[in-house]
A and B are shown apart, each in its own frame.
Chain A
C-alpha cells in the first residue's frame, strides 16, 4: 500500500488532476477554492503544463473550450458565483461535445452569499446549468481521497461520452485535511491517445470544425436527439452510489458529499440505539442513482433526504421512488452545516411517528 499523506482537499484535487494527465489549468480566484489555483500555479509549471490566471471565470471556461477542443485534458475550478458565470461556456462546450473538467467548491448562495460550505448548486449542476438541452456528468466526492481520485474518473467519463464533467464539492471538503493515498499510477499525458475530433491543423486529413450551432432546418433537432441517446446511455451505465446498512433498514438516509459524512455519523449513532437505519450516498448526482432507489422504494417505507440547501436533490429522490415511499427532509441552507445529533433527532422523529 502506498504511503498516506495528510492533505487539504483542495490540494488533493490538484495532485489528482496532475496524476490524471491534465496539464492545462485556467481559473480566477474565489474563496473557498483559492488553494487550487495557488497550488496549480506551482505544480502545473513544475510538470511542464499550462497555468493561466484569467481575467474572469468567463475567460477561464473559454480557455478550457479552446484547450480541450485542441484535444488536451483541461480543467478549471471555481466556487458558486464563478460557476454561474461559466454557464454560458459550459453550454457551448456541451453543445460542441467537448470533454472538460470543472470543479465547483460550493459556497452559500444565492448571489455573493457567503463562503461557508453549501450544497445549493445541485439544480445548477444536474439540470445542465446553462441554456439548452444538455446535462453535465456530476460527481460528488466526500473525502480527500475522492478528491484525488475523481479527476481521473471525471476525465475518463467526459472523454468516453464527449461531455463536460463536474466535480461538485464544497468549502468543507476543500478546506479539510485528510489522509490521501496515491492510489493509482500517474498518467503520462503523452500516453493519452490523440482524439479523432481534436483541432490541431488539418495536415493529411479533412479539416475539422468544432461548434455548437446548426442553423439549417431540422439539423439541430436531429443533433439534440442523438445527444439525448447519449444521455440515456449515461443514465443507464454510469449510476454510482455507496450504501451502508441498507439491507434491513426501516429508514434510509440519502445524502451526498459533506452531508453524507455527517449523515453517516448519525446512522452509526442510530444503529447503536438499535434503530434500523441505513445510508445511501449518491456518488454520481447526474446520472442520479435512480435504479437502486427505485428498487429500495419497493421495500423501504421512509427516506430521509439530508442536504445543505432548502431541498434540491429531494426532487430526484421523489422522481426515483415514484410515490412508493414517504420522503422526509432535513436541510441546512445558507452555509449551515448539520451535526450528527440533529440528523439523529430527525431520524428518531420519523421512526417514532411511523410507529
Chain B
C-alpha cells in the first residue's frame, strides 16, 4: 500500500497534547512543512511561548528556545542579531503577544527585526483555563468575563495587525484563519512568504492566524470553525495589512 499522507520532517514524532479541534495543530503542521519546503530546518531556531503552545518546543523538529511570557520577540532579536545566518521564528498566542508582550512585539516591529512571527489569535487564554484575553470579543464570555466582556469596564479588544500597521517598521503583516480548507491554504501561503522574506533579509513579518479554541469557547470543533467565519473574522477582518514589497514598486 502506498503512503500518501505523513508527518512532515519539520515536526517531531511526538503526540501533540492539544485539545480536539484546536487550531495549533494545523498551524504547527504548516510551519513544519515550510521548514522542509524552504530547506531551512537545519538552520532554524524557533521560539515557544508561554501558553498552550509552550509545548511547541517538543513539536517543531528544529532548535527551540522557551523564553519568559511575552518576550519571544526580544529573544528572537537576540538570536537573529547574534547569528544572522539562522532563521528565527517566534510562535506566540494572544495572551503572550498582545497582553504581557505588547511592548516587545511593538518594538521588534518598529525596529523591523528580521524575524518571522506566527501569532495565534483565539480570543482567549487557553492554557490557564479560558480567561479573558486582550483579543476576547465584546460580549464574549470567558472565565473572567462570565457575563460577557463588558467594554465599559473591561475595555476593547486589541487589533494587532491594525495596530502594527500604524508603524513604519514592519515589512509584512497579514491576518489569516484556519477555519476552512481554503483559509488554511491561504495561511500557508502567507507564512511561506513570511519565511521567504526573512531569507531575503526583508525584515519583520507577522502572520496573525484566527484559530479555534473549542474548549475555551465552550463549543464543538465544528461550531468553533463556523464561529470564526461568522463572528470572529467580522471583528478581525482577514487580509494584508502591510506589504512593503508593493509599496516599493
Cα–Cα, bound, A199→B83 (Å): 9
Chain A residues near B58 (CB-CB < 8 A): 209
Nearest CB to that of B106 among chain A residues? Answer: A55
Within 8 A of A (CB), among B83-107: 83, 85-87, 103-104, 106-107
Residues of A within 8 A of B190 (CB): none
A52–B63 CB distance below 8 A: no
**Which chain A residues in 79-103 approach chain B with CB under 8 Å?**
88-89, 92, 96
Report B-chain residues with C-beta under 8 Å of the C-beta of A58.
71, 74, 103-104
| A88 CB → nearest B CB, Å | 5
In-complex Cβ contact of A211 among B45, B57, B81 (8 A): B57
A-side contacts of B64, CB under 8 Å: 199, 207-211
Is A62 a contact partner of B67 (Cβ separation < 8 A)?
yes
How far does the Cβ of A100 sit from chain B's closest Cβ, in whole Å?
A: 10
Docked-complex contact A66 and B79, CB < 8 angstroms: yes
Interface string of A193-205 (1 = CB under 8 A from B): 0000001111110
- In the complex, whether A65 has a CB less than 8 A from a CB of chain B is yes
Q: Hey, which chain B residues are within 8 Å of A67, CB to CB?
A: 78-79, 81-82
Within 8 A of B (CB), among A282-311: none
B37 CB-CB contact with A under 8 Å: no
> Pick the contact of A66 from B54, B61, B65, B111 — CB < 8 Å?
B65
Between B62, B82, B111, the greatest number of chain A beta carbons within 10 A of the residue's beta carbon is seen for B82
Choose one: B48, B77, B104; the contact of A52 (CB below 8 Å): B77
Contact B78 A74 (CB under 8 A): yes
Does A31 sit within 8 A of B, measured CB to CB? no
Residue A54 interfacial (CB < 8 Å): yes
Q: Which 4 A-B pairs have the closest CB atoms?
A: A66-B78, A63-B78, A201-B43, A62-B74
Listed in ascending order, the chain A residues whose CB lies under 8 Å from chain B are 24, 26, 50, 52, 54-56, 58-60, 62-72, 74, 88-89, 92, 96, 199-204, 207-213
Give me the interface of B with A, judged by CB distance under 8 Å: 12, 41-45, 48, 54, 57-58, 61-68, 71, 74-83, 85-87, 103-104, 106-107, 111
Contacts beyond the supplied A59-B103, A62-B71, A72-B83: 14 A-B pairs with Cβ under 8 Å: A24-B82, A63-B77, A66-B80, A67-B78, A70-B82, A74-B78, A74-B82, A199-B86, A200-B86, A201-B86, A203-B43, A208-B64, A209-B57, A209-B64
